[in-house]
Amino acid sequence: MKLTVSRGRAMLGAVVFALTLGTAVPLAAQDSVVVKLVAEPASAKLRAGDSTAVTVKAYNAKGQEIPNAEIRVFAARRGVAFSDGKIRAFQAGSYTVNAMAAGAAGNPVMLEIPVTITWPSIAKLEVVADADRLYTGTTSAHRVKASHPDGSERPSPTPAWRSSNPAVASVDRFGNVRAHKAGSVVISAELEGVSAKATRTVVANPTTSIALSVRDTTLKTGDVLKLTAVAHRADGAAVADAPIVWSYSYVPTDSMAPSGIPGGAGIVQFGEFAANYPGRYTLMARSGSAFTETTIEVKPRDARRRITVTGRGSITNTHTSDLWPWTGKDGRDYALVGTWGGDGYGFVYDITDLNNLIKTDSIKIDARTINDVTVSPDGRYGVLAREGASNRVNGVVILDLAEPAHPKIAASFSQELTGGVHNMFATNDYLFAISGGAKYVIIDVKDIYKPKYVSEYRHPNARIHDLWVHDGIAYSAQGGAGTVVVDVGNGKYGGSIEHPKLITVYSVNSGHEIYPYFQQSTGKVYLFIGDEEMNRSGRVWEGTNYFGQMTTPGGVPQTSGGFTHIVDFTDPMHPKPVGQYHVEDFGSHDIIVQDDILYQAYYDGGVRLVDVSGELLGNLADQGREIAVFKPYDPKGYTPNAAFVMNAMPWKGHVLFTDFNTGLWAAKLQPKQALTP
């Protein structure tokens, strides 16, 4: 049988494709009920960076193959993906690709395809050290950079370390080199038969004292403190290259004492300190035998504020996907809302009165799902993303918002977008649309009735899920690669809208949501990168196996995993992973940051507002930075009383968010209450 692929939407983070088997003689109804799925091959073994074809077929109770059976294949982990009829390997490990079809009475028929991924061989090894010269009595961290034959880098290599003269300098299994006496030493590393060497010189440590400078002695949890210390010789001269090691001790406040001292009370990294818990911290600096310390006080951050629901646009007969608010040409405020598996319906709400959300119109297009919606900054046009169209063409539908309460379809555009559009980004003149997870296409929408193809960007060996454009730079989250940054008109890096040019790739084991935030108070650029994992396999709480039930009213609550990574991207060529927002039992989805508040759609964890003011370091969830959490519920919801927040956006002093099971919500963050003595 000929196998073709109808590229459906990447279902909530699992890559899902509907496989349609070629035409055949029609079967009787009883012969079209799926009882078994079979994969060819039944399992796969491949190396990271490679792919292999897989075919999944459906059979009835008579053992006959069922043509035209709708089969969904998904791989929910970041190390492996399924697309275009192929399993694609990103990271070594053991994984499971799942196939699903509706069986008798709509009950799911499942098949697991075991996938084993190994790394390619190591072609080159390089020893990298913090400094070429070592001072006696100090320790210098060493690591290796391991490359594969194709030039890709092996994540977290663990070589065997060796010192040529341990009496001069010894090395532990982590690559930490401890200098003992003056002399020369060769530090070597070996991994998978490939070795590398580096010669280090050890000199006598001239440091006799350390001058410590701490800007603040009273902080709040989560505040970042710069650690500044200078090593001095006996004559008072500075030793500029003397390594200084920082550490701390912790005494909890009375409120923490009854439960004992918590683990991970603070973080020392990048020459900075941040406290997770209130109490007294003694910061200590050491270089060889020289030592000094100072004590600071950390008070509770207490960012908590009350959040109150003000209005609802109830949608309970189908799943709700994305939203986008805008101010119309008539001066009123509106929100465009999409549906997941909703037979191609999008909705328009008048949200001028956020206490009374009013549906003004609906738009029907040829699609199974409208996963993403967007509106241009000037409110001139809106866009509905199409997935699962009857003719498999998909693409986008552009709306004329001249009459915002009742949009009109201006045009459909599908050039290079036949794989289904999962996410988009709109500027006034251009629309960026993701095509089947393979690339993004740039469309000229100056004339919304005659949209034109401009250019596209495809990153090799990656699956794109989300993108955000700021100041002519496109930041995209791409599984298998990480964060891909491209000049699409900024010009500083040689790119243009017609000829996008790669700036850099930040390697991170996450490729789903992304938001670049330009923080005015510090001048820093932070990237917020979301995981979006729909498989909790291997965790203490593995969650629910709800695939196959999510399209049936009732069912079981959905679950998710993963978290939001925070990267200091101020220097795009030298990014630093500084923090995260991680609540273990739930998983991250769409991300927006405005005025130092993170508006986080956290799936079954609800909508979560988090204080991201000032410099960031560590897990924000541990530092009292959470401002408010609301988990929407409705006994009449598509899945009753099951929160699953898809998107959240600030809007005129409120937060708007869509819930997968209950529709559109509006809420207001109340002013912080002053404490009464």
pLDDT digits over 284-297, tens only? 999 999 999 999 99
Percent of the chain with pLDDT over 90: 74
Question: What's the CA gap between 239 and 230, in Å, rounded?
Answer: 7
The predicted pLDDT at position 46 comes to 94
Predicted pLDDT at 121: 95
Q: What is the per-residue pLDDT across 283-338, written as a single tens digit (0 to 9) for each?
A: 999 999 999 999 999 999 989 999 999 999 999 999 999 999 999 999 999 999 99
Strand 576-581 to 618-619 pairing: parallel
Name the burial class of residue 559, with classes exposed (0-12), middle (13-18) and buried (19+) by CB atoms within 10 angstroms of its CB: buried
The residue ranking higher by pLDDT, 260 or 668, is 668
In a domain, 609, yes or no: no
pLDDT in the model for residue 14:
39
Whole-number Å distance between alpha carbons of 581 and 608: 10
User: Does some domain include residue 47?
Assistant: yes
pLDDT of residue 511: 78
CATH of the domain at 88: 2.60.40.1080
Same-domain check for residues 331 and 421: yes
Looking at the domain assignment, is residue 340 inside a domain? yes
**What would the mean pLDDT of 108-123 be, rounded to a whole number?**
93
User: Which of 92, 118, 144 corresponds to the end of one domain?
Assistant: 118
184, 266: one domain: no
Quote the pLDDT of residue 75: 76
**pLDDT tens-digit series, residues 627-655:** 999 999 999 999 999 999 999 999 999 99
- C-alpha distances out from residue 68 to 23, 65, 71, 98, 203, Å: 7, 10, 9, 19, 75
Q: Is the pLDDT of residue 433 over 70?
A: yes
What the block records as the tokens of 210 is: 């350390």
Are 279 and 382 members of one domain? no
Rounded CA-CA distance 600/610 in Å is: 8
Nearest CA-CA partner of 111 in 67, 60, 73, 66: 73
Q: Are residues 288 and 335 in the same domain?
A: no
CA angle 520–524–528, rounded 5-degree value: 105
CATH number at residue 349: 2.120.10.30
Report the pLDDT value the prediction gives residue 5, as an integer from 0 to 100.
Answer: 30
- Tell me what the mean pLDDT of segment 379-388 comes to: 96
Task: Name which residue leads in pLDDT, 677 or 174.
Answer: 174
Segment 430-458 mean pLDDT: 97
Preceding omega of 157 cis (within 30 degrees of 0): no
Last residue of a domain, one of 259, 283, 299: 299
Same domain, 329 and 414: yes
Mean pLDDT over 441-467 rounds to 95
The mean-pLDDT minimum among 286-295, 354-363, 477-486, 532-541 falls in 532-541
The mean pLDDT of 465-473, rounded to a whole number, is 96
Confirm if 231 and 290 have CB atoms less than 8 A apart.
yes
Closest-CA residue to 167 (of 158, 179, 157, 159): 179
pLDDT confidence tier of residue 83, bands split at 50, 70 and 90: confident
Domain membership flag for residue 602: no
Residues 199 and 241 in one domain: no
Tokens of 517: 């935030």
Do 408 and 314 fall into the same domain? yes
Question: Each residue of 162-171: b (16+ CB within 10 Å) or e?
Answer: ebeeeebbbb
User: Do 284 and 220 have their domain in common?
Assistant: yes
| Domain assignment of residue 314, yes or no | yes
- Dihedral sign, Cα of residue 387, residue 393, residue 395, residue 397: negative
Residue 140 lies in a domain: yes
Looking at the fold, whether 103 and 42 belong to one and the same domain comes out as yes
Q: What is the pLDDT of residues 219-261, one digit of tens each?
A: 999 999 999 999 999 999 999 999 999 999 888 876 554 444 4
41 prior amide bond cis, ω within 30: yes
Same domain? 317 vs 233: no
Number of domains composing the chain:
4
pLDDT digits (tens, 9 = 90+) for 18-75: 333 333 434 456 688 999 999 999 999 999 889 999 999 999 999 999 988 888 887 7
Report the pLDDT value the prediction gives residue 16, as an integer from 0 to 100.
39
Quote the pLDDT of residue 258. Answer: 45
* Domain-located, residue 636: no
Structure confidence at residue 81 as a pLDDT band (50, 70, 90): confident
- The answer on 29 and 113 residing in a single domain is yes
Instruction: Return the number of other C-beta atoms located less than 10 Å from residue 155's C-beta.
Output: 13
User: In sequence order, what DSSP letters do the residues of 76-140 get, joined into one string?
Assistant: -STTEEEETTEEEE-SSEEEEEEEEEE-GGG-EEEEEEEEEEEPPPP-EEEEEES-SEEETT-EE
**Domain end (from 281, 299, 317):** 299
Question: Sorting pLDDT into bands at 50, 70 and 90, what band is 130?
Answer: confident
Is position 668 within any domain?
A: no
> Chain-centre distance of CA 492, in angstroms?
26
Domain assignment of residue 103, given as a range:
3-118
Tokens of 216: 């603040």
Percentage of the chain with pLDDT > 70?
92
Instruction: Say yes or no: 337 and 433 in one domain.
Output: yes
